[in-house]
């Protein structure tokens, strides 16, 4: 296992190293994307736009729990890849065990809270009188998946830090494929509607988590989830949280901003909310692919940083930027031209379709720069630079997006102008990411360098 990690992270040619890490990560994100689209698609086949709106409203709450998984996943990956680059495998085991048991505990607590407060939570995230019953029903069932969601979301990232990108990908495929297969059976076949979508989500997350646990208990890993390796001190908790909190804040702010835009959009009616939810999912086709690329290269960059190999780190980054730009442009054209058929697949109501089509075209305007944004976000996280990571995380969906959204809601009485706040925030965030990375690179690498295998 050690030889494999060294071979991929240290010795493989840069294009091969990037592709070997990025492709499994991108495939994982495609599976997440297909799962998200499948949920909405099969709910849409009920011809009940209120159910589509309810799932759209419930999604931000689900993202909050994914944010916890991201906290340990991104924070753990950053620390573990750097530890492996330094040759400190014992501390890598301590970090992975800390992520598993702390995340699992938080998941159990969150599950209990949702079961007790499902209806108030549904109201708080923007459910209307017409969608309240569907939203609370969905959350009540999905709550059972929260501990497994956190474990799965954490280790789909962490396992990549040891160079095992294919195992990380397989877990995501198993969980999401099960969900996709079960969706039509439970939503349409059994006629369980929103409840069917929720049950399929629970089963998918359980299967993914169990797959990762099986790997982590095997002899084919450098990581550990054994309680004897659990350690929070010696910089473990601090190192994970320093990068994990900013990463999770981005998801939390994304969830919060979705809740706020749903509540504001509610003034334009449930069909506008349904259209917005579908437009966000269409936009996810570009976003998820590029998140996959960014998260795929992060362990590689982290290993190079831990090994103080500046030349290889720079070469990996340059190749990744070129790859991200090409992928961004291709996917933007595809999604812009295909917006009509994509939106129609989810929405039968003509009013909701008009909103969805318009919103989807507006959202995709930020497509060309999304690759640059996610590459630099992950490049900053790979160095363990807590402050730049924090600034960037609270800016895109917080300090930049929310003021723009609220300003537009005051100035314009237009649902379409509300949607335009997102691409404006994305362009400003991409510029900020480039600036913060330049400052981080100069500070943390300085003039140190090593001969690199490029």
Domain membership flag for residue 417: yes
- pLDDT tens for each residue of 41-96: 788 788 787 887 787 778 777 777 888 888 899 899 889 988 888 888 899 999 99
User: Is the pLDDT at 2 greater than 60, yes or no?
Assistant: no
Which helix (H) or strand (E) element contains residue 247?
A: helix 236-265
pLDDT at 451: 40
Any idea which of 127-131, 220-224, 287-291, 371-375 has the lowest mean pLDDT? 127-131
For residue 385, is it left (φ>0), alpha (ψ between -120 and 50) or beta? beta
pLDDT at 112: 93
Domain membership flag for residue 159: yes
Coil, strand or helix: which one is 33? helix
Tell me what the pLDDT averaged over the chain comes to.
86
Which burial class, exposed, middle or buried, applies to 261 when counting CB atoms under 10 A from its CB (0-12, 13-18, 19+)?
buried
DSSP state for residue 190 in the 8-state scheme: S
Domain membership flag for residue 104: yes
Interatomic CA distance for residues 103 and 145, integer angstroms: 13
pLDDT at 391: 87
Tell me how far CA of residue 268 lies from CA of 126, 128, 132, 328, 404, in angstroms: 13, 12, 18, 32, 19
**pLDDT class of 446 with cuts at 50, 70, 90:** low
Coil, strand or helix: which one is 160? helix
Residue 361 φ/ψ, nearest 5 degrees: -65, -35
Longest CA–CA separation in the chain, Å: 64
Which helix (H) or strand (E) element contains residue 63?
A: helix 49-86
Domain membership flag for residue 70: yes
Which helix (H) or strand (E) element contains residue 198?
A: helix 193-216
Tell me how far CA of residue 414 lies from CA of 23, 49, 97, 272, 423, in angstroms: 40, 21, 49, 11, 16
**pLDDT class of 255 with cuts at 50, 70, 90:** confident
Domain membership flag for residue 454: no
For the chain, the domain total comes to 1
Which helix (H) or strand (E) element contains residue 64?
A: helix 49-86
Characterize 308-334 residue by residue with b for buried, 16 or more Cβ atoms within 10 angstroms of its Cβ, and e for exposed: ebbebbbbbbebbbebbeebbeebbee
- The structure tokens 């099960």 sit at 178
Domain membership flag for residue 451: no
Domain membership flag for residue 424: yes
Interatomic CA distance for residues 106 and 125, integer angstroms: 21
Domain span at residue 238 reads: 2-445
Domain membership flag for residue 118: yes
User: Is the pLDDT at 235 greater than 60, yes or no?
Assistant: yes
- pLDDT tens for each residue of 90-142: 999 999 999 999 999 999 998 999 899 888 888 887 777 788 888 889 899 98
**Structure tokens belonging to residue 99:** 């992520």
**Structure tokens belonging to residue 206:** 């359980």
């Amino acid at each position: 296992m050690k030889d494999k990690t060294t071979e991929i992270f240290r010795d493989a040619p840069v294009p091969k190293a990037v592709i070997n890490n990025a492709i499994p990560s991108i495939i994982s994100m495609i599976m997440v994307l297909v799962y998200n689209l499948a949920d909405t698609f099969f709910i849409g086949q009920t011809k009940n736009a209120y159910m589509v709106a309810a799932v759209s409203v419930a999604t931000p709450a689900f993202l909050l729990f994914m944010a916890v998984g991201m906290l340990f996943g991104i924070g753990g990956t950053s620390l573990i890849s750097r530890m492996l680059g330094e040759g400190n495998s014992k501390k890598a085991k301590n970090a992975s065990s800390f992520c598993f048991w702390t995340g699992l505990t938080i998941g159990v607590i969150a599950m209990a809270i949702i079961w007790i407060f499902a209806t108030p939570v549904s109201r708080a995230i923007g459910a209307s009188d017409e969608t309240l019953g569907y939203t609370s029903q969905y959350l009540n069932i999905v709550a059972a998946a929260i501990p497994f969601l956190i474990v799965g979301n954490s280790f789909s990232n962490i396992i990549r830090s040891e160079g095992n990108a294919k195992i990380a990908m397989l877990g995501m495929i198993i969980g999401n494929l099960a969900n996709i297969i079960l969706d039509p059976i439970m939503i349409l076949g059994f006629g369980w509607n929103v409840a069917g979508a929720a049950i399929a989500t629970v089963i998918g997350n359980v299967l993914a988590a169990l797959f990762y646990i099986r790997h982590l208990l095997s002899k084919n890993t450098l990581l550990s989830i054994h309680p004897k390796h659990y350690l929070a001190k010696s910089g473990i908790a601090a190192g994970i949280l320093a990068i994990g909190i900013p990463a999770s804040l981005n998801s939390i702010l994304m969830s919060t901003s979705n809740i706020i835009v749903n509540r504001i959009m509610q003034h334009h009616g449930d069909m506008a909310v349904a259209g917005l939810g579908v437009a966000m999912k269409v936009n996810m086709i570009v976003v998820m692919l590029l998140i996959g690329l960014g998260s795929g290269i992060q362990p590689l960059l982290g290993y190079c940083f831990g090994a103080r190999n500046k030349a290889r780190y720079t070469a990996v980054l340059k190749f990744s930027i070129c790859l991200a730009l090409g992928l961004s442009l291709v996917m933007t054209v595809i999604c812009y031209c295909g917006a009509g058929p994509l939106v129609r697949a989810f929405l039968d109501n003509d009013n909701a379709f008009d909103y969805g089509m318009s919103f989807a075209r507006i959202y995709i305007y930020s497509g060309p720069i999304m690759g640059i944004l996610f590459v630099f976000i992950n490049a900053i996280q790979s160095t363990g630079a807590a402050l730049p990571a924090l600034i960037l995380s609270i800016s895109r969906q917080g300090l930049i997006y929310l003021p723009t959204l609220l300003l537009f809601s005051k100035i314009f009485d237009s649902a379409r102008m509300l949607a335009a706040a997102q691409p404006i925030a994305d362009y400003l965030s991409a510029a900020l990411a480039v600036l913060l990375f330049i400052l981080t690179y100069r500070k943390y690498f300085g003039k140190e360098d090593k001969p690199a295998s490029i």
